[in-house]
Amino acid sequence: MAKRLLREHQAIIASPSPALELLEPSESDIYDWSAILLGPENTPYEGGKWRVRIKVPTSYPIDPPTMQFETRICHPNIHFETGEVCIDVLKTQWTPAWTLASALLAIQAMLSDPEPDSPLNIDAANLVRSGEITGYEQLVNYYKKVYTQP
């Protein structure tokens, strides 16, 4: 629903989210959005910025959007190659009460609290599962330095 998306866009302009540097539709398609997600404080993601592509179905808000990281990121619940995100909010836990901004906030929270039992990045998940947190954080920091903008 285009009206809902326009209201969401106005709301984010009026009250920006601390999790986002940017959240806006493309100039030519209200169902194609772009976001820049900020890394949460006190995590190895802090200081990083990741571009997320958002495809909104015409059945929105009944059905969830798809969100995909365009900037490479190392996280157990994000596919390193495709940027696909595995989070319940975008699947079984979606309700029309969620907005694009609140879903992105949930993804930012997921960065702080990985779920290694439903991984899309097996290597990162194995590090977390085995308690190799220092190794995991070093890997996250490496990819943050290589792929993100300051």
Question: Which segments within 2-118 are labelled E, that is strand?
Answer: 20-25, 32-38, 49-55, 66-69
* Catalytic residue chosen out of the listed positions 68, 86, 115, 129: 86
pTM assigned to the model:
0.94
Q: Is 74 a catalytic residue?
A: no
Token pair for residue 62? Answer: 């009944």
pLDDT in tens, 3-28: 999 999 999 999 999 999 999 999 99
Q: Which value, to the nearest 10 degrees, does the dihedral of the CA atoms of residues 13, 16, 51, 117 take?
A: -130
pLDDT at 3: 93
pLDDT in tens, 73-95: 999 999 999 999 999 999 999 99
Is the pLDDT assigned to residue 105 strictly greater than 70?
yes
Counts for the chain of helices (H) and strands (E), in that order: 4, 4
Average pLDDT across the chain, whole number = 95
Domains of the chain (ranges, CATH numbers): 2-147 (3.10.110.10)
pLDDT at 150: 62
